[in-house]
Amino acid sequence: MDLLLDIATWILLLAGSILLIITGFGLLRLPDLYTRIHAGGMADTLATFLIFVGLSLQSGFSLVSAKLLLVLVFVFFTSPTASYALAQASFVAGLKPKLDGFGTKKPSKDDV
């Protein structure tokens, strides 16, 4: 039973860490601020979720788990507000998102 829990924890922690690496990769690779916010969103949501659930599996049915899950709830409440503040501030400041010229599809007039 303990072994099973350990394996589940390892899988969750590793999946979370891989997502964090992809997040960091995306922050460098994507072209402008608005698209980079999306990459940061991965670290705020699923990566945090996986790591915290993995940690609470280790602490079992206890107060520590309850606290970890509460932190998770608070992160899920506050991180979209922070992302929105960032996007809204750069939009109000007049930063134009790059919308065309990506991928293999030819940009047309309908895209703008």
Partner 1 sequence: MLKTVSLFLVLMSVWLLLSGHYTPLITGFGVVSCLLSALIANRMDVNDKEGQPIYLGPRILSYWGWLVGEIFKANVDVAKCVLFPKKYLRPSIFTVTASQKSDLGKVIYANSITLTPGTVTVDLDGDQVMVHALTEGSAEDVLGGDMDRRVTKVMRET
Asked if 74 interacts with partner 1 (CB under 8 A), we say no
Asked if 12 interacts with partner 1 (CB under 8 A), we say no
Asked if 65 interacts with partner 1 (CB under 8 A), we say no
The only residue of 103, 106, 108, 109 in contact with partner 1, by rule CB under 8 A? 103
- The H or E element containing residue 82 is helix 63-92
* CB closer to partner 1, 44 vs 57: 44
Of 51, 45, 107, which Cα lies nearest the Cα of 37?
45
Give the three-class secondary structure for 31. coil
Asked if 76 interacts with partner 1 (CB under 8 A), we say yes
- The H or E element containing residue 109 is none
